[in-house]
Structure 1
Amino acid sequence: MSTFQNGMAAARAMDDDSDVEEEALVADYKEQVQYEEGMDELEHVPSLSMAQQADDIQSKLAQAAQPLDFQAPLDVKFQSYDAYCSLFHYILNSDGPVDLEPPSYYWAWDVIDEFIYQFNSFSSYRARIARQGNNEKNEEEVQMLRENPNTWGCYSVLNVLYSLIQRSQITEQLAAMKRNEDPMSKAGEYGSKSLYRMLGYFSIIGLLRVHCLLGDFSLALKTLDDIELNKKAMFARVMAAHFTTYYYVGFSYMMMRRYGDAIRMFSHILVYVSRTKNFQKNAQYDSITKKNEHMYALIAICIAFHPTRLDDTIHTALREKYGDQLLKLQRGGPDSLPIFEELFRSACPKFIAAVPPDFDNPEANVDPIEHHLAIFMDEVKTNMWSPTVKSYLRLYTTMDLKKLAGFLDVKPEELRSWLLVNKQRTKQLRWTDQGLLEGELVNVSDLDYAMQGDLIHISEAKVGRKLVDWYLRNLSRTYA
Structure 2
Amino acid sequence: MSVRQAPGHQQGAPERSMGDDSDVEEEALANDYREQVDYDGEDYGLDRQMSLGGGPQDLHAQLVAAAQPLEYQATLETKIQSYDSYCNLFHFILNSEGPVDIEVPSHYWAWDVIDEFIYQFNSFCSYRQRIAFQQSTTAVNEDEVAILRENPSVWGCYSVLNVLYSLIQKSQISEQLAATKRGEDGKQYAGEYGSRPLYQMLGYFSIIGLLRVHCLLGDFSLALKTLDDIELNKRAMFARVMAANFTTYYYVGFSYMMMHRYADALRMFNHILIYVSRTKNFQKNAQYDSISKKNDQMLALVAICVSFSPTRLDDTIHTALREKYGEQLTRMQRGGPESLPLFEELFRQACPKFISPTPPDFENPQINIDPVEHQLSIFMEEVKNNMWSPTVRSYLKLYTTMDLTKLAGFLDVDADTLRSWLLVNKQRSRQVRYAEGGLLEGDVVNSSDLDYAMQGDIIHVSEAKVGRKLVDWYLRNLARTY
Residues 176-185 or 204-213, more deviating: 176-185
> Does residue 30 of the first structure (1) align with residue 34 of the second (2)?
yes
1:333 corresponds, among 336, 349, 358, to 336
Q: Give the conservation status (yes or no) of the 8 Å contact 1:50–1:63.
A: no
Task: Give matches, 1:105-254, under 5 Å.
Answer: 105-133=107-135, 137-254=140-257
2:280 maps to which residue? 277
Gap change, CA 1:221 and 1:368, over 3 Å in 2: same
Task: Give matches, 1:283-298, under 5 Å.
Answer: 283-298=286-301
Cα offset for 1:137?
A: 3.1
For the residues of structure 2 that align with 1:44 and 1:74, how far apart are their CA atoms? Answer: 28
SS, match of residue 376 in structure 2:
helix
Cα offset for 1:286?
A: 2.3
Q: Give the conservation status (yes or no) of the 8 Å contact 2:47–2:61.
A: no
Letter in 1 for 2:63: L
1:452 maps to which residue? 455
Measured against aligned partners, the alpha-carbon deviations of 1:53-79 in whole angstroms (never above 9, x if no partner) come to: 955100000110000011100000000
For the residues of structure 1 that align with 2:53 and 2:389, how far apart are their CA atoms? Answer: 61
1:474 maps to which residue? none
Gap change, CA 1:75 and 1:250, over 3 Å in 2: same
Q: Give the conservation status (yes or no) of the 8 Å contact 2:334–2:390.
A: yes
> Does residue 307 of the first structure (1) align with residue 303 of the second (2)?
no
> Does residue 410 of the first structure (1) align with residue 410 of the second (2)?
no
Q: Give the conservation status (yes or no) of the 8 Å contact 1:344–1:373.
A: yes
SS, match of residue 339 in structure 2:
helix
TM-score, normalised by the number of residues in structure 1 = 0.91
SS, match of residue 273 in structure 1:
helix
TM-score, normalised by the number of residues in structure 2 = 0.90
Cα offset for 1:283?
A: 2.8
1:364 corresponds, among 363, 367, 377, to 367
Cα offset for 1:433?
A: 2.5
For the residues of structure 1 that align with 2:135 and 2:297, how far apart are their CA atoms? Answer: 31
Give 5+ residue unaligned stretches, structure 2: 1-10, 472-482
Aligned length: 457
Gap change, CA 1:33 and 1:393, over 3 Å in 2: same
1:435 maps to which residue? 438
For the residues of structure 2 that align with 1:176 and 1:206, how far apart are their CA atoms? Answer: 21
Q: Give the conservation status (yes or no) of the 8 Å contact 2:402–2:459.
A: yes
For the residues of structure 2 that align with 1:167 and 1:6, how far apart are their CA atoms? Answer: 27
SS, match of residue 41 in structure 2:
helix
For the residues of structure 2 that align with 1:212 and 1:91, how far apart are their CA atoms? Answer: 26
1:20 maps to which residue? 24
2:66 maps to which residue? 64
SS, match of residue 449 in structure 1:
strand
The sequence identity of aligned pairs, in percent, is 73
Letter in 2 for 1:21: E
For the residues of structure 1 that align with 2:53 and 2:315, how far apart are their CA atoms? Answer: 53
For the residues of structure 2 that align with 1:252 and 1:146, how far apart are their CA atoms? Answer: 32
Cα offset for 1:26?
A: 1.5
Cα offset for 1:458?
A: 1.1
Cα offset for 1:149?
A: 0.2
Gap change, CA 1:54 and 1:70, over 3 Å in 2: farther
Gap change, CA 1:443 and 1:120, over 3 Å in 2: same
> Does residue 90 of the first structure (1) align with residue 76 of the second (2)?
no
Gap change, CA 1:40 and 1:58, over 3 Å in 2: closer
Q: Give the conservation status (yes or no) of the 8 Å contact 1:51–1:82.
A: no
2:346 maps to which residue? 343
Cα offset for 1:6?
A: 7.1
Letter in 1 for 2:413: V
Cα offset for 1:409?
A: 2.0
CA RMSD of aligned residues (A): 2.5
Residues 176-185 or 292-301, more deviating: 176-185
1:74 maps to which residue? 76
Give 5+ residue unaligned stretches, structure 1: 469-480
Letter in 2 for 1:24: A
Q: Give the conservation status (yes or no) of the 8 Å contact 1:211–1:220.
A: yes
Cα offset for 1:34?
A: 3.3
SS, match of residue 58 in structure 1:
helix
Cα offset for 1:3?
A: 8.4
Measured against aligned partners, the alpha-carbon deviations of 1:225-278 in whole angstroms (never above 9, x if no partner) come to: 000000010000000000000000000000000000100000100000000111
Gap change, CA 1:425 and 1:44, over 3 Å in 2: farther
